[in-house]
Amino acid sequence: MKPLSDGHLQVVLVELHRAIEASTAAAIAQLGRGATLETTYPPNGELQPSEVAALRSLSLDSTAQNALAKLISDASAAAVFHVFCLMDGVCDPEGVDEEPWLGVRLAEPDGDDHTMLHDAFFESYWEFKRPPAE
């Protein structure tokens, strides 16, 4: 396994910032127009008609939109930062008995046989929601 190059790491990190900014802007834009309000996460988290009506009733001036954008961006960045802390081994995952947690590393692909993380992310949601074993 070849370690991730500094150049590729920088591309991924910059793209994460770009994705946070773009997804935040898209969320704010949905509130400001008559477009269909849609969510993709959680997988079973479709907005209910009463929730859509409540969101439509919000009257957000540009100051409130800017503040909301900061909150959404901060929440997104916090999740990414936590994953990086797990990967770096500077925090421990909940419910994992592996001691000590050493983290995980990104690597350059070396073939076609690898887990597709974007698919595994949504598929793992149900594992996350499963009640803990007693």
Q: Quick check: 38 pLDDT over 90?
A: no
Q: Which of 14-18, 36-40, 64-68 has the lowest mean pLDDT?
A: 36-40
Alpha helix ranges (H) inside the chain: 6-31, 49-56, 62-88, 117-123, 125-129
Q: Map out the domains of the chain as residue ranges.
A: 2-129
67-121 per-position pLDDT tens digit: 999 999 999 999 999 999 999 999 999 988 878 999 999 888 887 777 889 999 9
Give bridge partners of residue 107 from the DSSP assignment: 3
pTM of structure: 0.86
Q: Which helix (H) or strand (E) holds 2?
A: strand 2-3
